[in-house]
Amino acid sequence: MLGNFSYSNPTKLYFGDDAISFLKDELKNYGSRVMLTYGGGSIKKNGIYDEVIKALKDAGKEVFEDPGVMSNPTVQKLYEGCRIAKDNDVDLILAVGGGSTIDYAKAVSVSAWCEEDPWDKYYLRMEDVDNRIIPVGSVLTMVGTGSEMNGGSVITNHEQKKKIGHVFGDNVMPKFSILNPKYTFTVLKYQMVAGIYDIFNHICEQYFSGEDDNTSDYLSEALMKSVIHASRIAVKNPEDYEARSNLMWAATWALNTLISKGKTTDWEVHMIGQAIGAYTDATHGMTLAAVSLPYYRHIMPYGLPKFARFAKEVWGIQTEGMGDEAAAEAGLAAMEAWMKEIGVVLSAKELGVTEDMLEGIADATFLLEGGYKTLSRNEVIDIVRASM
């Protein structure tokens, strides 16, 4: 049965190879002081930085740069960004990069004017925002997280060995996002593939949960098939515009809150993956890939009909006469074959996980109740060990 829900998404998107031309129109809606945040400098090599700076200068904006956002943004970097934003009283934070940069921008947007430690308030206590919020806009250069059209923000605290996401409300979502598939062409293949699996797992986290046979499930199956098809083209030809366009659009719809409506949703793969990331600083999508198959094989008996449906509807397996268990196993085997085909990491050991980390990773994993089974701490250890 489809559950009760409300739906709203205020982010305005500009999609296509001329999407950046609309940045000037959006900039008119904000004051003169803009904080420009980005990662390690690749946008300067590929020309995106120059395009963005030109738009900002043409719009008469004073720019305060905040480079160096890492793939897993840290709480120390958050504090640094808050100082830049507050000291310069910026009117807009413009994030140019992938999901990590946009996640970081949203964290700064709610934290710069917070009167207490934002890590404690938002990431440990999960409290709502009750202070001034700086608007965020984004120019997307790597797909996967869907951060360009949601309120999510993940921050890592290495000292506490915690990587935590907070899903903020509509007022923290980017006001606008620029999506040009060509901006993703120069992303390293490892990062592209990690992003592809991140997209796929976002859909799985919502699909493999409670309520079955509703519109959200049909949308999820179509999105998964689109990701599978486009990924096979993109890994062979990273500059295939149609494939990269479909991946970019699927990533946005995978996590802009639409397909979660009427679902309890799971997110335990993300909880385990983020705990691994807190210990290893590994690429997010690869941590998900490493633990997915052990996790899904562990919970499969508790959601057998959906896993059997997954085999038939997503992977096209002829399941008639197989029985649910055999069909479900065939579906996960097909998923594993695809993961090997596109080249994601399937072993947590390859990401730096060692036996002596297992207890700590289990302690850092939030145990959620939305999936087919609520894990125990020992089950988390077993799943991570199986992923090695």
How confident is the model over 100-128, as pLDDT tens digits? Answer: 999 999 999 999 999 999 999 999 999 99
- Residue 369 banded pLDDT, cuts 50, 70, 90: very high
Interstrand relation of 176-179 and 62-66 (parallel, antiparallel or unpaired): unpaired
Burial zone of 64 (CB within 10 Å; 0-12 exposed, 13-18 middle, 19+ buried):
middle
Name 161's Cβ contacts closer than 8 Å, sequence gap at least 6: 278, 279, 360, 364
* pTM for this prediction: 0.96
189: left (phi over 0), alpha (psi -120 to 50) or beta: alpha
3-state secondary structure of 163: strand
Q: Chain-wide mean pLDDT for the chain?
A: 96
- Per residue in 172-226, pLDDT (tens digit) is 999 999 999 999 999 999 999 999 999 999 999 999 998 777 899 999 999 999 9
Q: How far is CA 147 from CA 320, 326, 374, in A?
A: 39, 36, 27
Q: Which pLDDT value is given to residue 212? A: 74
pLDDT of the residue at 1? 63
What domains can you pick out in the chain, each with its CATH number?
12-183 (3.40.50.1970), 189-387 (1.20.1090.10)
